[in-house]
Chains A and B, each alone.
Chain A
Amino acid sequence: GQQLNQSPQSMFIQEGEDVSMNCTSSSIFNTWLWYKQDPGEGPVLLIALYKAGELTSNGRLTAQFGITRKDSFLNISASIPSDVGIYFCANAGGTSYGKLTFGQGTILTVHP
């Protein structure tokens, strides 16, 4: 099946720093999704992207749908302690019913 490769696997940053992470695949997609999982909770949808080149923001978070349609990027500006968690890219692969494939996740730790 399709595989989504996230990078980096983990990040340790200081409060106030900017963060960048990405997700790549060998397959072409029509949608890219970014979810965040807080410690002890289930993932929550942050941003959904529907078109190649699309740039979408949600507060301090900005995500981009790569031009090749095989990758996506997530940036967090001016990180704060509550940004701690695991960030997942995900994709439905063009199917319906929300059958998502998730990347391995990027674990973000923010030091005050």
Chain B
Amino acid sequence: NAGVTQTPKFRVLKTGQSMTLLCAQDMNHEYMYWYRQDPGMGLRLIHYSVGEGTTAKGEVPDGYNVSRLKKQNFLLGLESAAPSQTSVYFCASSGLTRLNEKLFFGSGTQLSVL
């Protein structure tokens, strides 16, 4: 039972480098999300998708781009990494529950930007 799988688990970047975080879910969920977690700030929504081919901005979208070319995959891109993007990134998905509030999270990607 894989659920939500994120790759990679750890990554170190230099300022200005680019990278893509991969998220895959095998639960046939319509909705997918990218959150970042910083100490003392909880989780903040970066971008989300309500279905294949759709994306929308969350609370903290600047410096990130996303794509949802296939229903099961949601990609998060950093075009030019900055130290402020050092964080733990979580992908999540949800199906058609009451308010889609039951999010299933991956185990996270720890990103350090030097």
Contacts and interface: CB of A to CB of B under 8 A. Distances in A.
A42 B107 contact: yes
Given A43-B105, A88-B43, A97 B59 contact: no
Given A1-B59, A104-B41, A97 B100 contact: yes
B42 A97 contact: no
Give the interface SS of chain A, mostly helix, strand, loop or mixed.
loop
Size class of the B contact interface (CB-based, 8 Å): 20 to 34
Contacts of A98: 31, 33, 48, 92, 94, 99-103
Interface in A38-81: 40-45, 48, 50
A103 interface: yes
Nearest to A43: B105
A42 B45 contact: no
- List the 8 closest A-B pairs by CB distance, nearest first: A42-B105, A98-B100, A102-B42, A98-B94, A102-B43, A104-B42, A92-B99, A45-B102
Interface of B: 4, 31, 33, 35, 40-45, 48, 50, 58-59, 90, 92, 94, 98-103, 105-108
